[in-house]
């Protein structure tokens, strides 16, 4: 075994990855689209933008309570705009190689993006599509509710308590916590340090894994 065990010797039946900010960076494209939308609706763009990350668009819009605004329609229009803007979409450092080391039945992507947008961003970033992809379309309640992670564990046929949720945004971290899974935070796209009790990495190069009969163990790579 190499490096420091991050989770007290736990062996995980599955790793459940968020997508945006965790496996790929879409922050440039997302903020371009959402900035224009916020300005059209008279919102303070700088204050509003931090609220969009990690949550489904429809819930972000509905929470604003804007008079006369149909959250479902607006979310659909934003998705179309985001699908046309793949500028700056890239894989998080080390993510593709890290995923390549995981057996297909040991990981899934659990994203707040609608399925068509998720597939387009994964392709643009060169991140593989997993056997199991849970999207905004698959649940009634999005993050920070745990529904999406519970569904992923159910479909993989594993106990959520034996899973590791890999996340970057507060809403997703809260969803992972509420699900009962262990949580690992990816800070690759963070502009400010996030206070969190969970282990945190800036790149997947900081991790090594050990495959065992019962699943996957996750370690911090030894210092070079």
pLDDT digits (tens, 9 = 90+) for 5-39: 889 889 999 999 999 999 999 989 988 998 999 99
Cβ atoms of 211 and 104 within 8 Å: the answer is no
Residue 6 DSSP one-character state:
T
Catalytic machinery residues: 18, 20
Residue 1: its pLDDT value, please?
44
SS (H, E, C) 102-128: CCHHHEEEECCCCHHHHHHHHHHHCCC
Q: Which residues of the chain have pLDDT under 70?
A: 1-3, 224
Residue 53: its pLDDT value, please?
80
Residue 224: its pLDDT value, please?
64
0.85 surpassed by pTM = yes
Residue 127: its pLDDT value, please?
98
Reported as a single tens digit per residue, the pLDDT across 136-148 is 999 999 999 999 9
Residue 162: its pLDDT value, please?
98
Alpha-carbon distance of 197 to 102, in angstroms, equals 26
Residue 4: its pLDDT value, please?
83
Fold of 4-26+89-220: Rossmann fold (3.40.50)
Residue 88: its pLDDT value, please?
92
Cβ atoms of 31 and 78 within 8 Å: the answer is no
Neighbouring CB atoms inside 10 A of 87's CB total: 10
């Amino acid at each position: 075994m190499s490096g420091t065990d991050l989770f007290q010797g736990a062996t995980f039946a599955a790793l459940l990855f968020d997508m945006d900010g965790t496996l790929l960076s879409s922050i440039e494209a997302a903020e371009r689209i959402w900035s224009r939308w916020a300005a059209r609706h008279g919102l303070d763009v700088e204050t509003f933008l931090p609220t969009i990350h990690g949550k489904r668009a429809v819930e972000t819009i509905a929470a604003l309570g804007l008079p006369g605004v149909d959250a479902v329609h607006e979310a659909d229009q934003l998705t179309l705009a985001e699908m046309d803007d793949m500028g700056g979409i890239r894989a998080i450092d080390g993510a593709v190689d890290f995923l390549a080391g995981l057996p297909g039945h040991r990981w899934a992507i659990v994203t707040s993006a609608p399925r068509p947008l998720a597939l387009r961003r994964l392709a643009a970033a060169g991140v593989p599509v997993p056997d199991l992809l849970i999207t905004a379309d698959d649940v009634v309640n999005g993050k920070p509710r745990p529904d999406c992670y519970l569904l992923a564990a159910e479909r993989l046929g594993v106990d959520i308590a034996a899973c590791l949720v890999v996340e970057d945004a507060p809403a997703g971290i809260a969803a992972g916590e509420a699900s009962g899974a262990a949580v690992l935070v990816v800070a690759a796209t963070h502009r400010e340090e996030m206070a969190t009790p969970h282990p945190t990495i800036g790149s997947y190069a900081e991790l090594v894994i050990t495959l065992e009969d019962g699943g996957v163990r996750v370690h911090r790579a030894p210092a070079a």
